[in-house]
C-alpha cells in the first residue's frame, strides 16, 4: 500500500470517527437503533454515536417473560439522558426503574405506559409505573368515539403522552389520542405518496353515522357515503356494515388539504346494470316492489340495484290523480311492463300491466268496429247494424277531438 493510499485511508477513518463524536441527541429524540449486545438487565444499542446506548431489558420482554427482540434487530427508541458515559434510551416509560422518569417523559414528549384502572367522572383513572396515578379525559382515550367507553378501555394497558405534570407528579394528565395523532401524521405522509384516486384500498370500519361509514386506512380516515355502500338503495347502514369490519373499497376522491378521502364500496361489487338488457328487455313483464313515491311517479325495484319509474300519468287506472300515493304505497308489490330502457342514463320506464293508453283504447275500438262490419250479416238486422255503426263512429269522432 503506497503512502498516499494510507493517508487517504486514515483520513477517512478520522472523518468517520469525528462524525460519530459530533452527533448530539436531545432528550425525547426518537431514533432507530440496532441491538448489539445483551448482558443482565441491559440491552446494548448501536446508535451511530461515540457512546453506546443502553436500554432496560424489561422493555423488550413480553407478558410471558420472553424477549421480543435479539442481537441484530432494530428498535425505535427515545433518548432519555446521558449517565456515566452512556446514553440511556427507552421505548416507553412504564414500570420498574423507568417509573422515576415521568417528569422527563413529560418535558421531552416520551410515551408512557399505563393501566386503565377504572372509569371515573369525566374520564379514566390511569396507573403509571405501577403506583403513580394519572387522569385521562374521555376525549383523549382515542381518536374514534366508542359506544361503551368503560367496557372498551377498563383493564387495558395502553400507551400515553403526559400532557400535564404538576405538584411534583401529584397532578398528572395523560392522552392516548395525542400519541395516536402523532403516529398517524407520520403514516399520512407516507400514504400521500402511495394513495391515488381509482386505487383499491383495504381498511377497517371505525365509526358509522346516518350519512356514511368511516374507514381507517392505516394512518388516515376515509368515508364511504351511504350512496356508495351498494348498488341498491340503503336505508340503514348498520344492516350492511359493522364497526371493526374489514372492507375493500375504491378511492373516489382525494382532498389532502381538506383531509377528506371519499371511498366507494359498491364499485368493488358487480354492476347490476351490466345485465339489464338481457334481463329486462322492452315489453317483458316483471314483479317489483314500490321503493319510493315522488310527485312525478313511483320508483319500483325490479332487482337489487335496478329501479324503474312508473310515471304518474300511467297510474290511477284511467282517472286523473295528483300524487302516486293515491294509487300505490311504498313496499307494495306490483306487476309492471318494461316500456323503455336507457343504459347511458340508467333509466327504465315502466307501466302497470293493467295500464291502457288512449291510443291503445282507440285502436281496440277500431278493431272491434272492423270486426263487426266483417261479420256475416243477419236478415232484418240492417237497422241494428246501422244504429250500432253510427254509435261507434260517433264515439271515435268524439275521441279524436
Region of residue 37 (phi > 0: left; psi between -120 and 50: alpha; otherwise: beta): beta
> What does the angle CA 43 – CA 48 – CA 49 come to, to the nearest 5 degrees?
90
386 — pLDDT class (breaks 50, 70, 90): low
pLDDT tens string 289-315: 999 999 999 999 998 888 999 999 899
pLDDT tens string 347-359: 899 999 888 765 5
CA gap 127, 94 in Å, rounded:
9
394 — pLDDT class (breaks 50, 70, 90): low
Instruction: Lowest mean pLDDT of 185-199, 203-217, 253-267, name the range.
Output: 185-199
Q: Which domains does the chain have, with CATH numbers?
A: 19-91 (2.40.50.140), 100-180 (2.40.50.140), 197-268 (2.40.50.140), 275-352 (2.40.50.140)
Over range 366-379, report the average pLDDT.
60
Long-range contacts of 255-259 (CB under 8 A, 24+ apart): 256/192, 259/220
What angle in degrees, to the nearest 10, is found between the helix axes of 382-400 and 358-374? 160
- Cβ neighbors of 162 (< 8 A, separation 6 or more) are 102, 105, 106, 112, 134, 172, 173, 174
- Whether 11 has a pLDDT exceeding 70, the answer reads no
Does residue 154 or residue 305 have the better pLDDT?
A: 154
Please tell me the pTM assigned to this model: 0.53
CA distances from 103 to 26, 111, 323 (A): 15, 11, 72
pLDDT tens string 197-231: 999 999 999 889 989 999 998 878 899 999 999 88
CA gap 57, 40 in Å, rounded:
8
Distance from chain centroid for Cα 46: 41
158 — pLDDT class (breaks 50, 70, 90): very high
User: Which is it for the CA torsion 79, 83, 86, 88, positive or negative?
Assistant: negative
- Whether 278 has a pLDDT exceeding 50, the answer reads yes
Amino acid at each position: 500500500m503506497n503512502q498516499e493510499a494510507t493517508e487517504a485511508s486514515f483520513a477517512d477513518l478520522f472523518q468517520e470517527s469525528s462524525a460519530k463524536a459530533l452527533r448530539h441527541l436531545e432528550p425525547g429524540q426518537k431514533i432507530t437503533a440496532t441491538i448489539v449486545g445483551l448482558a443482565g438487565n441491559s440491552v446494548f444499542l448501536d446508535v451511530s454515536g461515540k457512546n453506546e446506548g443502553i436500554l432496560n431489558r424489561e422493555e423488550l420482554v413480553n407478558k410471558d417473560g420472553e424477549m421480543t427482540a435479539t442481537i441484530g434487530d432494530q428498535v425505535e427508541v427515545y433518548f432519555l439522558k446521558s449517565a456515566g458515559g452512556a446514553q440511556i434510551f427507552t421505548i416507553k416509560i412504564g414500570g420498574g426503574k423507568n417509573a422515576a422518569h415521568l417528569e422527563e417523559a413529560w418535558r421531552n414528549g416520551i410515551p408512557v405506559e399505563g393501566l386503565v384502572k377504572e372509569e371515573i367522572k369525566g374520564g379514566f383513572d390511569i396507573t403509571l409505573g405501577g403506583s403513580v396515578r394519572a387522569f385521562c379525559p374521555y376525549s383523549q382515550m382515542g381518536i374514534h368515539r366508542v359506544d361503551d367507553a368503560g367496557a372498551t378501555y377498563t383493564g387495558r394497558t395502553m400507551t400515553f403522552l403526559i400532557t400535564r405534570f404538576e405538584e411534583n407528579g401529584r397532578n398528572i394528565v395523560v392522552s392516548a389520542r395525542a400519541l395516536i395523532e402523532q403516529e398517524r401524521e407520520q403514516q399520512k405522509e407516507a400514504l400521500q405518496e402511495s394513495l391515488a384516486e381509482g386505487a383499491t384500498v383495504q381498511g377497517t370500519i371505525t365509526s358509522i353515522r346516518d350519512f356514511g361509514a368511516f374507514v381507517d386506512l392505516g394512518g388516515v380516515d376515509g368515508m364511504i357515503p351511504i350512496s356508495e355502500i351498494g348498488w341498491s338503495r340503503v336505508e340503514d347502514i348498520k344492516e350492511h356494515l359493522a364497526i371493526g369490519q374489514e372492507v375493500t373499497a375504491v378511492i373516489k376522491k382525494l382532498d389532502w388539504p381538506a383531509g377528506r378521502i371519499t371511498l366507494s364500496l359498491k364499485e368493488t361489487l358487480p354492476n347490476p346494470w351490466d345485465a339489464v338488457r338481457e334481463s329486462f328487455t322492452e315489453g317483458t313483464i316483471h314483479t317489483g316492489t314500490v321503493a319510493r313515491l315522488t310527485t312525478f311517479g313511483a320508483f319500483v325495484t325490479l332487482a337489487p340495484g335496478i329501479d324503474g319509474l312508473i310515471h304518474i300519468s300511467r297510474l290511477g287506472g284511467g282517472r286523473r290523480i295528483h300524487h302516486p300515493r293515491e294509487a300505490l304505497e311504498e313496499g307494495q308489490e306490483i306487476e309492471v311492463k318494461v316500456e323503455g330502457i336507457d343504459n347511458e342514463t340508467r333509466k327504465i320506464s315502466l307501466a302497470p300491466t293493467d295500464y291502457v293508453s288512449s291510443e291503445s283504447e282507440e285502436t281496440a275500438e277500431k278493431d272491434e268496429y272492423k270486426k263487426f262490419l266483417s261479420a256475416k250479416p243477419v236478415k232484418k238486422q240492417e237497422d241494428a247494424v246501422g244504429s250500432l255503426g253510427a254509435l261507434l263512429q260517433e264515439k271515435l269522432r268524439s275521441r279524436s277531438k
